[in-house]
Structure 1
C-alpha cells in the first residue's frame, strides 16, 4: 500500500539529510506506529506519504514514494486526497466550516462527489465515529477528543485507503485519547484502512500497533514487530522500560501482559521501602506562606463559566500538576493566575519578589541553572507558557530569540541557550523558529520563559511534542526551579510526566477543583490518571520505573 524505495530528503542549508536511503513497505490494513526522538524527521516521513514533502515543504526528495501505486513525485496532495487522508497535530487548525456536519461534507465538496453520495457518507461517518448527537454542534464548542474525531471523520468521508495521523492524542485527556484510539483501531480492523501514526505518548498506543517504524536520528529507518524494535529503540513507553529492567522476554506491550509477567517482581519488591519519585528538596520560600494565593476565582467566556470559585495556594519549592478532562477549566485558571486572562471575580495575590526580601530563598534563587540577576519585567514574577507557545516567538532565528531572552532577563549571554540544550540539544541557532518541529518549538519557548527565573512558573501542556528524554530533561528543570524556591504549576494530561515531576496534583472538573493532594494519593485512586508502573505493580506504591530501578539497586546492595 505504501512503499519507500531508497528515499532521501534533504532541506536547503541542512548539514545532513533528514531521511537517508529509506526502504519501507507498509501493507494494507496495518496500524503502523512511527517513533523516534523529537526532531528526527517523523513529520517529514508522514508528509512524504501524501506529497506534502517536498511539494509544499521544499527541499529535495530522492528515490520514490508510491501510495496505492501512485508516485507522489507526479501526484501532488490534491491528486492524492481520495487515497490519503491526513490529520495534523492541531485538528482545529484545519477546520474550514462552522459545524460538525458541514466539516464532514467539505472534503467531498472539493472532490465534486454527487450530493446523494455525500449525504450517505456523512451519515455513515457520524455513526462510525459516534458523532451523530453532535452533527449540528459548532466546532468551536467541542471538546478536544470530539474535535479530533471530527477531524478524522472529515478525511474519512473521502474513503481514503490510507490515514496519516500526526500526534493524534497529544492534546487529549486519557479518556478522550482512548476514544480516539478505539476509533482508529476500528478503522483498521473493520474497514481495512492503513494507518500511519506518529505519537510521542507511546504508552497510549503501542499495544495497538502492528508494526513499528523507528527513526534512528541519523536519517535511517528500521521497522519490525513492536516487541523486537523496542528491545533496542532509544524511545520506549514505561511498560517497555519496566520489561527491559526486569528482563522479561518477550517484552510486554500492554499493562495486562505486563501484570502477568510481573508477579515475581512484585514478590521481590514486597516489603521494600519505595524510594521517593522526586528528589528531596531543602525548605525554601518566604516564611512558609504561599508564593501565590487565589481565592474565589471565577472566569466566564460568554455564557460559559470556565472556572467556579476556585481556591488555590502555591508554595515555594513545590511542583503542582493541574489535571482534568478537556474543557474542565485548567487553561482558564492558569491565565487568571497569570493575570493576562479574564477574571470576573476573586483575588490572586503574589508574594513579594525575593529581591525585595533578602534571605535564604534569594540566595538560592541566584545560584544554579536558573541563577543570575532576576528580571523585573512581567516574566520575573509570574511566567506562563501557553498551549500554543509559538505565539510568543516573533524573531527570525533561534539565536535571536535566545539572545533577546538573555537581554530581557538580565542574565549572561548563553544562559537561555544552555536551558534549550538541556531540553532539546542540537538546534541550530540560524534556524527560523517556525521551521522547528512542535516539540522543538516548545522547548525554545520554555528556554525563553525560564531564562528570567520567575518566582511562579505556569506551564500549559508543556509536554506536547516532547519525547521521553526531553520530558526527563524538563522534569530536571522543573525540579531545579522548585529546589531554588520557585513554585511550578503544570497543566497536563500526561500522567507519566505528572507521576515523575509533581509533588501535588489538583484535579479540575466543570471549572471546580474537586481533588487536591499528594501525587501518589490522587493519581493512583483513578484508573484514568494512574501511570503504567502503578497499574502493573499494584498494590505496591511505585509510580515510576526509576523508583523500581532504585529499589532493586537497594536490594542488591543489601545482599
Structure 2
C-alpha cells in the first residue's frame, strides 16, 4: 500500500538530509508505528506519504514514494485526498470551518459525497470519538484534546484507505487516547485500513502495532521489524520495556499484561523494600501560587467552580483530568488571562489580572500548549537574546537552557523549522530565563521523546530545588509519577482529588503509570525506583 524506494529528502541550508536512503514497504491493513528521537525526520517521512513533502514544505525529494500505486511526485496532496487522510501535530492547522459538525462534514463535501452518506458518517464519527455533545460547539472553544479528536474525526469521515497520523494521542487524556486507539484498531482489523503513525508516547500504542519502523538518527536508514524485536534495541522505548531490560526479561514485554505475567520473581526480589523517599519540602511562609474558592466563567459557561489550590515554593504539582476539565483555564487564570467570577487567585505574590503584563513574567511564567504563541523572532539566537533582555538576565542565559533541552541546535534555524517538541523546549527556555517563582506548563511533554523528557524533568527538579513552584497540566501519567510531589485531579471544573502522587495515581486505574500496574500492590511508580532497589544489597 505504501512503498518508499531509496528516498532522501534535503532542505536548503540544512547540514544533513532530513531523510536518507529510506527503503520501506507498509502492506495494506497494517498498523505501522514510526518511532525515533525528536528531529530525526518522522514528520518528514509522514509528509512524503501524503504528498505534503515536497509539494508544500519545499526541499528536494529523491527516490520514489507510492501510495496505492500513485507516485507522490506526480500526484499533489489534493489528488491523493481520496486515498490518504492526514492529521498533523497541530490540529488547528487542519480546521477550515467554525463548528465541530461542519468540520466533520467538510472533507466529504470536498469529495462530492451524497448528503445522506455524509449525515450517516458524521453521526458514526461523533459516536466513535465521543464528540456527540460537542457537535454544535465552536472549534475555538474546545480544549486541545477535544480539537485533536475533531481533527482525527474529520479525516475518518472520508473513509481513506491510508491514515497518516503524527502524534495522534499526544494531547489526549488516557481514556480518550484508548478510545481513539480502539477506533484505529477497528479500522485496521475490520476494514483493512492502513495506518502509519508517529508517536512518542509508546506506552500507549506499541502493543497495538503490527510492525515498528525505527529512525535511529538524522539521515540514518530505518530499522524495521516486529515490535518486540525493535524495542529490544531501540533507544526510545516505553517504561514497561525499560522495566523488562532492568529485570533481564527477553524478549521485553510490550504491554502491562505481558509484564505482569513475567513479574512474579521481580515482585519477590522487591518484597519488603520501599522506594527511597524524596526529601521533605521546607516549610514556607506563603504559597507561591494560591486559588481560593475560584470560579471562572467563559462564554457564559462556568468552567471552574470553587477551586481551592495552594502550591508551595519547591513543590511540583501535576494537574490532571479528562480533556475539557478546566486545567488550561486554571493555568491561564494564574497568568491573568481570565478574571475570576468568584473567589481569589494570587501568583508570585501578586493578583494576576490586576498586574501590568510587563511585570507579570517576573512573578509567573506559562508555557502554553502551542509554543508558537511565545515565539516571534526569525532565529533561535534572536529568541534567546530577546528572552535575556526581557528577563534582565545575563546574555547567554536563555541559550544555556536551550543547550540543555535541545543539544546541538543551531543558532540560525528558524523556530518554525523546529519540530513540535523542539519548539516546546525553546519556549520553555524563554519562560525559564526570567526565573519566576511560579512556573506553569500546559502539556509540557507533548512532542518530546523520552530523552528530551528526561532532560526536561532534570531541569524542573533543579528549579523546584531552587525554590520555584511548578504546576504541570498534563496527561502524561509517567511524567507525573516521576516528577510530581502532589497530583490534583480536576473533573468538570472542580477538584476531585488532591494528595501525594503515590496515593492518588495508584488508586486510579486511568492515571496509574505502567510500573505501578505491573508491580501492584507494591509501592513502585517508576523504573529508576526499581533499578535503584535492585542495585542495593538485600
Unaligned runs of 5+ in 2: 351-357
Structure 1: distance between partners of 2:198 and 2:11: 21
For 1:464, the equivalent position in structure 2 comes to 446
For 1:415, the equivalent position in structure 2 comes to 397
Q: Are 2:269 and 1:265 equivalent residues in the alignment?
A: no
Alignment equivalent of 1:395, drawn from 370, 374, 377: 377
Structure 2: distance between partners of 1:252 and 1:436: 33
For 1:199, the equivalent position in structure 2 comes to 199
Q: CA deviation at 1:135?
A: 4.9
Deviations 1:301-351 (A, max 9, x none): 022111112111111111111111111111111111222333222222346
2:328, 2:442 within 8 Å by CA — same for their partners in 1? yes
For 2:299, the equivalent position in structure 1 comes to 302
For 2:166, the equivalent position in structure 1 comes to 166
Q: Are 2:275 and 1:293 equivalent residues in the alignment?
A: no
Q: Which range moved further: 476-485 or 135-144?
A: 135-144
For 1:362, the equivalent position in structure 2 comes to none
Structure 2: distance between partners of 1:182 and 1:336: 35
Q: CA RMSD in A?
A: 2.1
* TM-score with structure 1 setting the length: 0.91
1:5, 1:65 within 8 Å by CA — same for their partners in 2? yes
Q: CA deviation at 1:293?
A: 2.5
For 1:359, the equivalent position in structure 2 comes to none
Structure 2: distance between partners of 1:187 and 1:513: 37
Structure 1: distance between partners of 2:130 and 2:431: 41
2:173, 2:323 within 8 Å by CA — same for their partners in 1? yes
Structure 2: distance between partners of 1:75 and 1:259: 48
1:281, 1:483 within 8 Å by CA — same for their partners in 2? no
Q: CA deviation at 1:246?
A: 0.9
Superposed, which structure 2 residues align to 1:545-556 within 5 Å? 545-555=527-537
Q: Which range moved further: 20-29 or 215-224?
A: 215-224
1:317 to 1:120, Cα distance in 2 relative to 1, 3 A: closer
Q: Which range moved further: 146-155 or 133-142?
A: 133-142
1:144, 1:176 within 8 Å by CA — same for their partners in 2? no
Unaligned runs of 5+ in 1: 354-375
For 1:499, the equivalent position in structure 2 comes to 481
Structure 2: distance between partners of 1:218 and 1:351: 42
Matched position secondary structure for 1:417: helix
For 2:331, the equivalent position in structure 1 comes to 334
Matched position secondary structure for 2:385: helix
1:339 to 1:151, Cα distance in 2 relative to 1, 3 A: closer
Deviations 1:48-80 (A, max 9, x none): 001100100010111000001110000010000
1:148, 1:180 within 8 Å by CA — same for their partners in 2? no
Deviations 1:344-393 (A, max 9, x none): 2222234659xxxxxxxxxxxxxxxxxxxxxx943221111111121111
Structure 1: distance between partners of 2:372 and 2:43: 18
1:53 to 1:351, Cα distance in 2 relative to 1, 3 A: closer
Matched position secondary structure for 1:250: coil
Count how many residue pairs are aligned between Structure 1 and Structure 2.
531
1:145, 1:177 within 8 Å by CA — same for their partners in 2? no
Q: CA deviation at 1:113?
A: 3.1
Structure 1: distance between partners of 2:6 and 2:111: 32
